[in-house]
């Protein structure tokens, strides 16, 4: 089973059975062919064991150890769009990442330590939240600063420039599928600016995730079309057309036929 098939098999499981760490490393394996996913998971085991030996415990203690300790994991403010920021193995190597990968690190390290941590898919800025105290949040990208709900709202206003009203629903936890989909969406945007050809595999992986909104599947199909994968894009649009997409079957079939004509 190749890494794409393994990823598709993994995200097809019930949400509670999806190993987030393995999913994140499988994404990285698409860009780093020599990556040994099992070995990387074991590296996380060893890393967490070291923190346990050092007496790290609790949500606050974990945040401090990861993001404000002697060898902190930092938000990459110099080159936010570096694809390596989205590869969990590179985050472990470089101690640099973006909000979502740093949060994944906290979630998966916490799981190994018995410290429940969940991801919070706040638009524009991913956060981590205590799994046992819904009022306690962490911003791994900002040095692991601890926040309450008001602090999260202030952070949202900061990253959006105050152009969008804050909705408390933004602070609801999200599961592994949503986290992996967002990691891939970040990579797609990065690749479109830097290495367009790699956006193909990121879009293909995202399309393998069950439960994507129909509007997102349509956008990904159109993206594949712009990247020259006309037959794949047409096939996805045809599937959407028969699934009751609100855009309407005839319109989606028309777009699919147009894409097929470009491949002839």
- Spatial neighbors of 7 by CB under 8 A, at least 6 apart, are 23, 26, 27, 205, 208
Contact 179, 119 (CB under 8 A): yes
Confidence of residue 12 (pLDDT cuts 50, 70, 90): very high
For residue 264, is pLDDT > 80? no
pLDDT tens readout for residues 117-175: 999 999 999 999 999 999 999 999 999 999 999 999 999 999 999 899 999 999 999 99
DSSP string covering 24-61: HHHHHHHH-TT--HHHHHHHHHHHHHHHHHTT--HHHH
For residue 250, is pLDDT > 90? no
Confidence of residue 257 (pLDDT cuts 50, 70, 90): confident
Three-state SS for 120? strand
Owner of token pair 């590296």: 43
User: CA-to-CA distance for 239 and 258, rounded, in angstroms?
Assistant: 15
pLDDT attached to residue 259: 81
pLDDT tens readout for residues 42-71: 999 999 999 999 999 999 999 999 999 889
Residue 134 exposure: Cα atoms within 13 Å on the Cβ side: 6
Per-residue CA distances from 231 to 83, 209, 221, 240 (Å): 27, 20, 10, 14
Average pLDDT over residues 74-80: 97
Average pLDDT over residues 194-199: 92
pLDDT attached to residue 246: 62
Question: What is the residue-averaged pLDDT of the chain?
Answer: 93
Domains in the chain with CATH codes: 3-174 (no CATH), 176-263 (1.25.40)
Owner of token pair 């349509």: 218
Average pLDDT over residues 89-96: 97
Confidence of residue 244 (pLDDT cuts 50, 70, 90): low
């Amino acid at each position: 089973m190749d890494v794409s098939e393994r990823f598709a098999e993994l995200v097809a499981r019930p949400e509670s059975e999806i190993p987030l760490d393995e999913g994140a490393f499988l994404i990285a394996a698409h860009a780093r062919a020599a990556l040994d996913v099992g070995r990387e998971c074991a590296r996380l085991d060893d890393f967490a064991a070291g923190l346990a030996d050092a007496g790290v415990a609790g949500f606050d203690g974990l945040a401090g150890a990861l993001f404000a300790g002697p060898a902190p994991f930092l938000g990459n403010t110099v080159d936010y769009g570096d694809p390596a920021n989205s590869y969990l193995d590179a985050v472990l190597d470089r101690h640099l990442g973006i909000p979502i990968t740093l949060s994944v690190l906290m979630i998966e390290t916490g799981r190994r330590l018995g410290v429940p941590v969940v991801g919070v898919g706040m638009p524009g800025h991913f956060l981590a939240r205590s799994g046992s105290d819904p009022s306690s949040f962490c911003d791994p990208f900002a040095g692991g600063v601890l926040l309450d709900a008001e602090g999260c709202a202030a952070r949202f206003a900061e990253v959006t420039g105050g152009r969008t009203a804050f909705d408390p629903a933004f602070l609801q936890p999200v599961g592994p599928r949503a986290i992996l989909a967002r990691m891939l969406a970040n990579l797609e945007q990065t690749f479109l600016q830097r290495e367009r050809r790699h956006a193909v595999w990121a879009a293909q992986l995202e399309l393998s995730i069950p439960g994507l909104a129909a509007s997102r599947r349509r956008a990904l199909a159109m993206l594949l079309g712009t990247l020259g994968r006309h037959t794949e894009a047409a096939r996805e649009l045809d599937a959407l057309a028969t699934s009751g997409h609100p855009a309407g079957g005839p319109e989606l079939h028309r777009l699919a036929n147009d894409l097929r004509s470009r491949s002839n």
